[in-house]
């Protein structure tokens, strides 16, 4: 059906006016290790709105980190390129993520 130009134009027009879902965004990171010799786990979770904007800001930060820190070509996990603190700082400085209430940092 979408191989016909007119059907394709109509479908694209209809889909561009249809919005499914919300702009809510969320992410969580969990670290495991030892604390005072005992197994420990810490999870950091953030949530906000404007998912596409947050994604764009994180992508821009990572691109900046890749260029300025001379990361070798290849496939990397996010934590190999930056830190959670850098991501949160960048999002807050770009007003994409609100600052936490006093006393709830880190």
2 within a domain of the structure (yes/no): no
Question: In this predicted structure, what is the pLDDT of residue 49?
Answer: 80
pLDDT digits (tens, 9 = 90+) for 51-82: 888 888 888 888 888 888 888 888 988 888 88
pLDDT confidence band for 106 (50 / 70 / 90): very low
Give percent of the chain above pLDDT 70: 87
4 within a domain of the structure (yes/no): no
DSSP string, 70-99: TPPSS---GGGT--HHHHHHHHHHTTSSPP
7 within a domain of the structure (yes/no): no
73 within a domain of the structure (yes/no): yes
15 within a domain of the structure (yes/no): no
Between residues 38 and 51, the one the model is more confident about: 38
Determine the Cα–Cα distance for residues 84 and 55; give it in Å rounded to an integer.
14
Backbone angles phi, psi at 89, to 5 degrees: -60, -45
Determine the Cα–Cα distance for residues 34 and 98; give it in Å rounded to an integer.
31
Domain membership of residue 88 as a residue range = 23-106
Q: How many domains does the chain have?
A: 1
- As a whole number, the mean pLDDT across the chain is 81
- The pTM of the full predicted model, rounded to 2 decimals, is 0.55
């Amino acid at each position: 059906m979408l191989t016909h130009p007119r059907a394709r134009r109509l479908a694209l027009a209809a889909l561009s006016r249809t919005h499914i879902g919300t702009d809510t965004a969320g992410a969580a990171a969990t670290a495991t290790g030892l604390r005072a010799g005992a197994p420990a786990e810490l999870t950091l979770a953030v949530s906000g709105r404007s998912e596409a904007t947050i994604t764009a800001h994180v992508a821009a930060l990572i691109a900046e980190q890749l260029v300025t820190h001379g990361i070798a070509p290849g496939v990397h996990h996010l934590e190999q390129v930056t830190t959670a603190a850098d991501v949160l700082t960048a999002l807050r400085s770009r007003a994409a993520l609100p600052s936490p209430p006093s006393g709830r940092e880190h």
